[in-house]
Every structure is written in C-alpha cells, then in structure tokens.
Amino acid sequence: MCGIVGLFLKDKALEPQLGALTAEMLATMCDRGPDSAGFAIYGTPEKGKVKITISSPNPDADFKGLDAAVSKAIGSNVDFSLKSTHAVLTVPEDKADAAKATIRAEFPSVRIMATGASIEIYKEVGYPTEVAKRFDLAKMTGTHAIGHTRMATESAVTTMGSHPFSTGADQCLVHNGSLSNHNNLRRDLKHDGMTFETQNDSEVAAAYLTWRMNQGKNLGEALTNSLDDLDGFFTFVVGTKDGFGVIRDPIACKPAVMAETDQYVAFGSEYRALANLPGIEKARVWEPEPATVYFWER
Amino acid sequence: MQTVDLAKTPLRDLNQDLHRQSEGSNEKAWEVLNPMGFHAVAVGIDAPIDVNIRGNVGYYCAGMNKQATVTVHGSAGPGVAENMMSGKVRITGDASQYAGATGRGGLLVIEGNASSRCGVSMKGIDIVVKGNIGHMSAFMAQSGHLVVLGDAGDALGDSIYEAKLFVRGKVKSLGADCIEKEMRPEHHEALAKLLENAGVKGVKTSEFKRYGSARKLYNFNIDNADAY
C-alpha cells in the first residue's frame, strides 16, 4: 500500500497556495505510507536557468564548498539554496550537464534527485507530515505538484527508494503497486543507455517513460505504451514540465480518485486526500478507468 | 433526530453510538455531516434505524449492516456494504471497487456507477446499480441478485455459482462458465420486485437479459486433467 496525491493547477490565483494544498493532501495519506514520503513541485521557470536538486544524508559535510566548486568548474555563478538534507542549485541552462558531472566527480556522496527548468524533488525516510515540515512544503509555490507516501514492498526503505523518481529533465513518477517484470525491463533500458540509481521497480517505470519520451513520444503516448510493456500492479501519477498524467493497470486494484474543477485537476489514492480542496463540493469527482490514459497539458 | 458532525465528533464515537442502538431504539433517525471520505462510517449497525450521511465516504461504509437503512448522499469508496446481512444501503453517487462484496442479505442500491468487482462473492445480497458496473463483477457470486441498468465490464460473472445477474445494457464480455440464460416468468417477477424495492420506475423487465452459471466448473472434469 502507498498513498499518492497530485494537484495540477489551471487557475494562476491558486499558485501561491500549491505547497499548502499539497501538504494538506499528503497529510491525509500518512497511514497509507508511513515509512517515507516525497514530493515533486513544479515552480515557475527562470529563463535560461536549470535547477538541480541534490541530497545527502550529511548535508553539512557533503555540501560544504559544493557551490564554489561547481561555480569554478562551469565558470559561472551558481545559486545555492539549502533545505534540510536537500539543496537546489540554479545554473545556466547550457552548463547543467557540466555542473552535474562536477557533482558526480567531486562529491560522490551527493545524490542528484532531479534536474529541470521547473522541477524540484524532496524525499526522505520518515513520517510524511514530518517530511513535509522539514522541507517546508506548505510555503512552496508553483503550477503543479505530485506527492507520495510510501509503504515499501519491493525494495529497502531509504531516501533513494522513496518516490518521486525522476529519470529525465522535469519528469517525475510516483507509483502505488508493484511491477513483476522490472528486472528484465531494467536490463533492456540499460542496454539503451538509461542509468539507474536504485533496485526499485518504480524507478524502472519512470525510466521506461523517459525512454519513450526520448523517442519523441508525448506523455500520453508513453503512458499508452506502458500498458503493453509493464507487467504488474500500478497506479502511476506522472509529471512533466507542463503536463500531468494518470494511468492504472487493467486490473486496477490500486485505488484512485480524481477531481476536476475550473481551477484544478486533482488526484488522490482516496477521497480523503481531496476532501479539503477549494470548491470540491462542486467538482466533478470520478474514479479513473482501468487501462485508460488521462493527461493534461498546459 | 440525532445529528453527528464528523468535523467535530470522532468517527469512533459515532460508530459506538450506532452500535448501542437495538431493536427497540427510540433514536430512529440519524444524520451524519462532513464524512470527508472517512473509512468505515456506519459500519456494523444492528438496529432498524435510518442513517443519512451527507457527503462522500471512504472504504467499507455500512459494512456488515443488519436491519438499518443507510443512505450516502454522495459517493462511496471501496467495499461499500461489504458483507451486509440485511437492511438497505443506498448510494446516490458512484461506488468504487467491490461494492456489496460477500453480502449475505439486504438490498444495496447504487444510483450512479459501480466500478470493478461489484458483488464479488455475493452470498444472498441483492444489488441494483442504475449506471454501469466495472470488470470482474459478480466473480464467484454464490446467491442473490445483481441488477444493472447500464452496461457491464469485462468478465462478468466469472466462475459464478447460483447468483442471478440481470443486465439491461451491453456486457463487454462474460467470464468463465457464465452464460446468458432464458428470462422465464419467475425471473420477470423477481426482477420487477427488485426494481420496485430499489425505487426504479419506467423500466421494463423485458429490457433485461439474464446471466448465470453454465455449471460446468462445479465438478472436476477428468478430460481436463492434462491441463494441470
């Protein structure tokens, strides 16, 4: 069992409240996944800049001198913003790969969680409300967010095993369920040049969608392909820079409820996650059909 | 009338109060506000009382119900009226997975759609769905009736025993050992009664088809030995 929440805003007026609404939704899903939690938040992109979210179990020691080293290596200024065990580096778009190479080479104990123009990912072991608090989720703003509370089944309870998983720029995936063909698929994807940070099945699903989108498919097409190529139980919620997608396997055991108003599209593993959203009384509330792709793009 | 606001009163207190009611209870009418998708609202009642829940509920609402009439003015999460024994449960919106699962008696009415596995392993409950039902509904259904005014999803009645299924719309596919059966006068009569009890008007029993067991899976067939 796991809990998923997602909120894709249509109304700009709600953007300042994105973090607060997501934190409230996440808190209702604590008992579905008390061992760890995480969230991806899509903020307003800054022209010509890319954000790199990094994490370390020992931020004091590991992040020391990191911004200066990256700045020196790429020959340009770097913004560094620390949030508990995570930090966000903002670098010029054309220097993002060089910055990541520097981090990997000189700071081997630092993990890269996400890269992109708008995405930031925060995830940690611990009770979901505590995780949300330590990263100050409630104060964050943006256009869409996806959160996850984890009850681990397929791999260890670690920071890196928590969701969301990001395997491509501005992409993320959260998963409730378990995949049975992830080892074979991981091998195939590795063969095609995809890289993996964990032994987790959900990371394979994320990499699969990235691999499909790298072939030029949009999120909706990639999700449709996943129905043929992924075996197991899944409800996925997926984010891209300006898109938000939902899919359930054909058996659809893993619960899902959605709501849509003029202001937002929202996802919850249960209705409890949606109950406090503004205007929910008048929202269209429905259960997504099995083996059916739902996606919204800005 | 007793009114309980779940935004103020803990759910456990409501359920304990409901469990205290019995045959001769004077508190016949209950109103529950702000259910907020909570789980197990009004579960395990055993008294002839009326409970109106205003809003959407989560898992297992009105499970194991005996005698009571529970109405959800909204939608219900998975397992609504699971293992109901008697009484009436009505959902004015949609119901999620396995509505009425393993129910032994009583009447469950869903005015919207029910999703997958509706009436799975039903054992005597009557279920009337005004909308559509999802895949694998009435899986291993043993007895009782499932009436669907809309369409049914894949694998309806897979491995069914003696439950009777009536579907007015299309059936996407039938499960193993489930077949269409003749509507005899007694079936029209039983269906008319179910529709009446569910408050369905303006629908003729002749619009429905009946489905049930071909009874080929009841006993092991020696010709299939090679399959194992």
The residues spanned by each domain of chain A are 3-43+126-297, 45-117
Q: Which of B92, B115, B118, B133 to mutate to test the interface with A (most CBs of A within 10 A)?
A: B115
Q: How far apart are CA A6 and CA A274, in angstroms?
A: 10
Say how many domains are in chain B.
1
Closest residue in B to A268 (Cα–Cα): B37
What are the tens digits of pLDDT across the range B152-180? 999 999 999 999 999 999 999 999 999 99
Share of chain B above pLDDT 90, in %: 93
Closest residue in A to B137 (Cα–Cα): A251
Taking alpha carbons only, the member of B172, B173, B162, B78 closest to residue B124 is B162
Which residue in this structure is represented by tokens 């899919």?
A247
Structure confidence at residue A153 (pLDDT): 83
Q: Tell me the chain B residues in contact with residue A273 when contact means C-beta distances shorter than 8 Å.
A: 37
| Cα–Cα separations (whole angstroms), residue A257 to A14, A66, A164, A289, B129 | 21, 42, 19, 10, 20
| Cα–Cα separations (whole angstroms), residue A252 to A186, A288, B136, B155 | 23, 9, 11, 14
Q: Which of A1, A248, A287 to mutate to test the interface with B (most CBs of B within 10 A)?
A: A287
Contact between B37 and B61 (Cβ < 8 Å): no
Chain A nearest C-alpha distance from B224 (Å): 27
Q: What is the mean pLDDT of chain B?
A: 97
Q: How far apart are CA B218 and CA A135, in angstroms?
A: 58
Q: Tell me the chain A residues in contact with residue B37 when contact means C-beta distances shorter than 8 Å.
A: 270-275
Q: What is the mean pLDDT of residues B22-45?
A: 96
Structure confidence at residue A188 (pLDDT): 97
**SS3 track for chain A:** CCEEEEEEECCHHHHHHHHHHHHHHHHHCHHHCECEEEEEEECCCCCCEEEEEEECCCHHHHCCCHHHHHHHHHCCCCEEEEECCEEEEEEEHHHHHHHHHHHHHHCCCCEEEEEECCEEEEEEECCHHHHHHHCCHHHCCCCEEEEEEECCCCCCCCCCCCCCECCCCCCEEEEEEEECCHHHHHHHHHHCCCCCCCCCHHHHHHHHHHHHHHCCCCHHHHHHHHHHHCCEEEEEEEECCCEEEEEECCCCCCCCEEEECCCEEEEECCHHHCCCCCCHHHCEEECCCCCCCEEEEC
Contact between A118 and A170 (Cβ < 8 Å): yes
Chain A nearest C-alpha distance from B104 (Å): 23
Please answer yes or no on whether B134 and A255 come within 8 Å at the CB atom. Answer: no
Structure tokens at A76: 């340009």
Interchain CB contact of A130 with B (< 8 Å):
no
For residue B197, the SS3 value is helix
Please answer yes or no on whether A252 and B56 come within 8 Å at the CB atom. Answer: no
| Residue A37 β-bridge partners | A124, A149
Rg (alpha carbons) of chain B, rounded to whole number: 18
Q: How far apart are CA B153 and CA B172, in angstroms?
A: 5
Please answer yes or no on whether A270 and B58 come within 8 Å at the CB atom. Answer: yes
Catalytic positions of A are 2
Which residue in this structure is represented by tokens 């409730």?
A176
Chain A nearest C-alpha distance from B134 (Å): 9
What are the tens digits of pLDDT across the range B186-213? 999 999 999 999 999 999 999 999 999 9
Residue B227 has pLDDT above 80, yes or no: no
Structure confidence at residue B223 (pLDDT): 84
DSSP-derived letter for residue B227 is G
Q: Tell me the chain B residues in contact with residue A274 when contact means C-beta distances shorter than 8 Å.
A: 37
- Residue B214: Cβ-neighbour burial (10 angstroms; 0-12, 13-18, 19+): middle
Structure confidence at residue B219 (pLDDT): 81
Closest residue in A to B96 (Cα–Cα): A287
Structure confidence at residue B218 (pLDDT): 82
Contact between B32 and B51 (Cβ < 8 Å): yes
Structure confidence at residue A234 (pLDDT): 97
Count CB pairs under 8 A between chains A and B.
Answer: 45
Q: Which of A258, A271, A284, A285 to mutate to test the interface with B (most CBs of B within 10 A)?
A: A271
- The answer for A39, left when phi > 0, alpha when psi is -120 to 50, beta otherwise, is beta
Contact between A171 and A243 (Cβ < 8 Å): no
Residue A16 phi/psi, 5° resolution?
-65, -20
DSSP-derived letter for residue B184 is -
Rg (alpha carbons) of chain A, rounded to whole number: 18
Q: How far apart are CA B100 and CA B183, in angstroms?
A: 24
For residue B146, the SS3 value is strand
Closest residue in B to A252 (Cα–Cα): B116
Reported as a pLDDT band with limits 50, 70 and 90, residue B225 is: confident
Q: Tell me the chain A residues in contact with residue B172 when contact means C-beta distances shorter than 8 Å.
A: none
Closest residue in B to A291 (Cα–Cα): B135
Structure confidence at residue B222 (pLDDT): 84
Q: What is the mean pLDDT of residues B51-80?
A: 98
Parent domain of B186: 2-227
Q: Per-10-residue mean pLDDT for chain A, 298 residues long?
A: 96 98 98 97 96 97 96 96 97 96 96 97 98 98 98 89 96 96 97 94 97 94 96 97 96 96 98 97 95 94
Residue B228 has pLDDT above 80, yes or no: no
Please answer yes or no on whether B58 and A274 come within 8 Å at the CB atom. Answer: no
Reported as a pLDDT band with limits 50, 70 and 90, residue B226 is: confident
Would you give the distance in Å from CA B110 to the centre of its chain?
7
Which residues of B have a CB under 8 Å from any CB of A? 36-38, 56-59, 75, 77-78, 93-94, 96-97, 115-116, 134-135
Question: Closest to B77 (Cβ–Cβ): which among A270, A286, A289?
Answer: A270
H helix runs in B154-226, sequence order:
185-197
Structure confidence at residue B164 (pLDDT): 98
| Residue A244 β-bridge partners | A239, A296
Domain of B116, CATH number, reads: 2.160.20.60
Please answer yes or no on whether A271 and B77 come within 8 Å at the CB atom. Answer: yes
| Residue B145 β-bridge partners | B126, B164
Fold of A3-43+126-297: Glutamine Phosphoribosylpyrophosphate, subunit 1, domain 1 (3.60.20)
Structure confidence at residue B220 (pLDDT): 80
Give the pairing of strands B29-33 and B2-5: parallel
Question: Closest to A275 (Cβ–Cβ): which among B37, B93, B96?
Answer: B37
Q: Kindly report the CATH number that applies to the domain delimited by A45-117.
A: 3.30.70.240
Please answer yes or no on whether A271 and B56 come within 8 Å at the CB atom. Answer: yes
